[in-house]
Structure 1
Amino acid sequence: MDPVLAYIESQGLKNGERLPPERELAEMLGITRRAVRRSLEHLELGGQIWRGRRNGTFWGRRPPTLALGIERRLGRASPDDILEARLTLEPAIAALAATKASEADLDTIAIYMRRTAEAASDDTWAQWDGAFHLAITEATRNEVFVALVTSLNASRAEGPWKRIRVAAMTAEKRRNSIAHHRTILEALRKRSAEDASRAMRRHLLSVQHHMFE
């Protein structure tokens, strides 16, 4: 069993209760902080925990926020609408992340980039792709952007967007997407807002071409 999940169950944590910091968890469980971080990433992607930007990590699903109202509207949005919004929003987010991301943020983004390259199934690839884009957004320290991209990710994981992605995606297109992710990360590491914005826009235009050609 996942070590952090085993700890949560042994402690009988209730929904909304805070987990100890990574360092304390690593000491209590006798594992490395890297192993703790990997476990938390999987639990977060599975919706079993959520992380506040300033107040720690919590067991259960994230409480209703701004994202709830956005998700209701996105349920009526077409894939074209979603991609148009991403093309408007995410290049600006990437530019801001280039100036505000910490080294830890960049390391997390790099991990998610590698996970997309290692993914064996479409669903796993889509999950890590969403995590990559959300990690860039979280590096901006802007909760409004985080709520928006979280909701966009949820819309991309189901419904018409997923059906089009599954029908259109090929191994070659996936490799192309991963190469774009690498270019975005390089721009972020260079702290170049202009290059990060340009790389993100080029990536999303490629997604548009691949999905709707």
Structure 2
Amino acid sequence: MEVEKKELRMKSVKRQTMAKQVVDQIIELLTSGQLNPGDKLPTESELTELLYVSRPVLREALSSLETMGVIQRKTREGTYFANKIGSKPFSIMLALSAGDIPSVMEARMALELGLVTMAAEKITDDQLELLEALLTSMSDHKEDYLDIDREFHRTIAFSANNPILEGSIDPLLNMFDETLNQISLTDRDHSVTLQEHRTIFEALKKRDPIAAASSMYLHLNHVRAKVLKKLNES
């Protein structure tokens, strides 16, 4: 008698999940004390054998760690943990959250909402001029404006003039860019993005922290909705 075969349902293993596990394992070398800031990591060949992963997966994980400032890759010398990583717990926490896209989005929103509020109180006329110039440049570059977009947000962050928070914005924006690259977000609306940035700028120009926070929230929440929609479709 032939036994009816059951249909099994399983989720496919995503490559970024494997890279995230590699990130966790490499960070574990640091947090467990097996290696220290400034120490050299094993070679790529040794790491692929130790972790049982392919070289492309390993390189994806190393690129994420390098982007966040956790490691440094030196030509012909190898890969090292950054010397000052002990003073960058935010980078480590961010590295451990690699691949957790909703958490990355929420962390960016939390940080930037606070920064734009402080920026509204502290921003200088020179920084406002720079933001206005960036808006003009963004208007002129309808296809390739992501670097301009990033610089707009960085300028606001540094306008808050808080050295404690300044060290967090770059690794977070780097991780956000890496996230968008992984999910291939293509439905970018230049006109909407430009208008949202102009609204943020006008609030900063008026030195209105409440309006600045509100306009930044609307912008980042719009981005978050698009990213989460893309994730649900994949």
TM-score range, shorter chain: 0.5 to 0.7
Query: Counterparts of 1:73-92 in structure 2 under 5 Å?
Result: 73-77=93-97, 78-92=100-114
Aligned mate of 2:136, from 114, 137, 140: 114
Structure 1 match to 2:182? 163
RMSD between aligned alpha carbons? 2.2
Deviation at residue 133 of structure 1 after TM alignment? 0.5
Aligned to 1:129: 149
Give the partner amino acid of 1:198.
Answer: S
Query: Among residues 182, 188, 200, which one is paired with 1:184 in the alignment?
Result: 200
Pair 1:130–1:67, CA change in 2 (3 A): farther
Tell whether the 8 Å contact from 1:67 to 1:151 is kept in structure 2 after alignment.
no
Displacement of 1:150: 1.1
Which residue among 73, 76, 90 is the counterpart of 1:70? 90
Q: 1:117·1:178 contact (CA, 8 Å) conserved in 2?
A: yes
**C-alpha distance 67-161 of structure 1, shift in aligned 2 (>3 A):** farther
Q: State the alpha-carbon separation in 1 of the partners of residues 106 and 181 from structure 2.
A: 16
Q: Alignment partner for residue 201 of structure 1, among 197, 200, 217? A: 217
8 Å contact 1:187–1:195 — kept in the other structure? Answer: yes
Provide the C-alpha distance between the structure 1 equivalents of 2:128 and 2:140, rounded to a whole number of angstroms: 19
1:113 positional shift: 2.4
Runs of 4+ in 1 over 6 A off after TM superposition: none
Q: Between Structure 1 and Structure 2, which shows a larger proportion of helix residues? A: 1
Amino acid at match of 2:194: I
One-letter amino acid of the structure 2 residue matched with residue 139 of structure 1: S
1:141 matched to 2:157? no
Aligned length: 145
Check the 8 A contact 1:101/1:140 in 2, yes or no: yes
Answer whether contact 1:126 1:157 (CA < 8 A) is retained. Answer: no
Consecutive unaligned residues of structure 2, counting only runs of 5 or more, are 1-82, 230-234
Q: Which amino acid aligns with 1:212?
A: L
Q: Which moved more, 1:198-207 or 1:78-87?
A: 78-87
Q: TM-score, normalised by structure 1?
A: 0.61
Q: Counterpart in 1 of 2:228?
A: 212
Partner of 2:174: helix, strand, or coil? helix
Please state how far the C-alpha of 1:67 moved relative to its aligned partner: 7.9
Check whether the contact 2:131–2:152 (CA below 8 A) recurs between aligned residues. yes
Unaligned ranges ≥5, structure 1: 1-62
Q: Quick one: percent identity of the two aligned structures?
A: 22
